[in-house]
Amino acid sequence: MTIKVHHTLLLTGAAGGLGTALRERLKANCDVLRLSGRGNLGTPREGEEIVVADLADAEALSHAVKGCDAIVHMGGMSTEGAFGPILQGNILGVYNLYEAARIHGVKRVIFASSNHVTGFYRQNEVITPDHPARPDGLYGVSKAFGEDLSRMYYDRYGVETACLRIGSSFAKPTDRRMLASWLSYDDLHRMITACLTTPVLGHTIIYGVSDNAASWWDNSSARHVGYVPKDSADGFREAVYASTPEPDLSDPVVQFQGGGTLMAGIAMTSHLKAGK
């Protein structure tokens, strides 16, 4: 049973992949779910409000935030790409969001960070949120910035934040990497619910992952939040192995936790393949 502790909840990025998955689920967490994004969100359904806002537009975003009790921030660029869009959506956009939260007195934010903040750790390592950031691309750098900015807004203004370093959140795992990184949509909702309802959140970093037998991330430092995953990639293991080739252990995509992001955009790993 989900306890409603907020009247109005803002979901940014509501037209995106995870925003779409959360749209119905988050209605259990509030009386009014306010949806924000640049894309077409359709006609508001029962218990919904829709506000069109570009994250880079401070005035429009402030309007979206005003009157909310908490924010689930899923908006912005969600993949590696050119720096310009990442700058607008993930750096300027997250600054505008926290400024709006400060101005309007919103005291709790659930920030969709990413495992790509630590993507240059190896897949044979298990790390905690206390390990230093090792971003695997410009997208990971932007999420590390968001984590640091949210820390400052907590220390300086008391805005509590859960930084969710989301792994691979899809309907099911589709490759061998996801056997360790998969996060089901229902577990994503469970994690957000835990972060919205825990009495004291502070500034907390949590890896967004289901109860997979293989894992690179230790979430024990975030037990105060009370997130208990119920789904697992393990039931998909046989099908994944049958449908995917043997990994090339000399490939950086296989060696590092960031996976394919390491080879996206500007080639940043050629020196690793060359053995330099």
Q: Could you read off the pLDDT of 3-12 as tens digits, one per residue? A: 899 999 999 9
On whether residue 25 sits in a domain, the answer given is yes
Query: Has residue 96 got a pLDDT over 50?
Result: yes
On whether residue 60 sits in a domain, the answer given is yes
- Distance in angstroms (rounded) separating the CA atoms of residues 193 and 13: 18
Q: What is the pLDDT of residue 270?
A: 56
Among residues 139, 153, 154, 227, the one annotated as catalytic is: 139
Domain count, the chain: 1
pTM: 0.93
On whether residue 113 sits in a domain, the answer given is yes
Per-residue confidence at 231, pLDDT binned at 50, 70, 90?
Answer: very high
On whether residue 1 sits in a domain, the answer given is no
Place of tokens 């920030």: 111
Q: What is the pLDDT of residue 276?
A: 40
- CATH no. for residue 232? 3.40.50.720
Higher-pLDDT residue of 271 and 18 is: 18
Highest mean pLDDT among 43-47, 78-82, 259-263: 43-47
Phi, psi of 104 (to 5 degrees): -95, 5
Tell me what the mean pLDDT of segment 200-223 comes to.
97
On whether residue 200 sits in a domain, the answer given is yes
Active site residue 207: no
- Distance in angstroms (rounded) separating the CA atoms of residues 13 and 54: 10
Range with lowest mean pLDDT among 1-10, 48-57, 201-210, 236-245: 1-10
Collapsing DSSP to helix, strand or coil, 20 comes out as helix
Q: What is the pLDDT of residue 274?
A: 45
- Average pLDDT, rounded, for the chain: 94
Percent of the chain with pLDDT over 70: 95
- Distance in angstroms (rounded) separating the CA atoms of residues 232 and 237: 10
Q: What is the pLDDT of residue 262?
A: 77
Length of the chain: 276
Range with lowest mean pLDDT among 1-15, 89-103, 137-151: 1-15
Q: Could you read off the pLDDT of 25-54 as tens digits, one per residue? A: 999 999 999 999 987 898 999 999 999 999
On whether residue 240 sits in a domain, the answer given is yes
Range of the domain at 101: 6-273
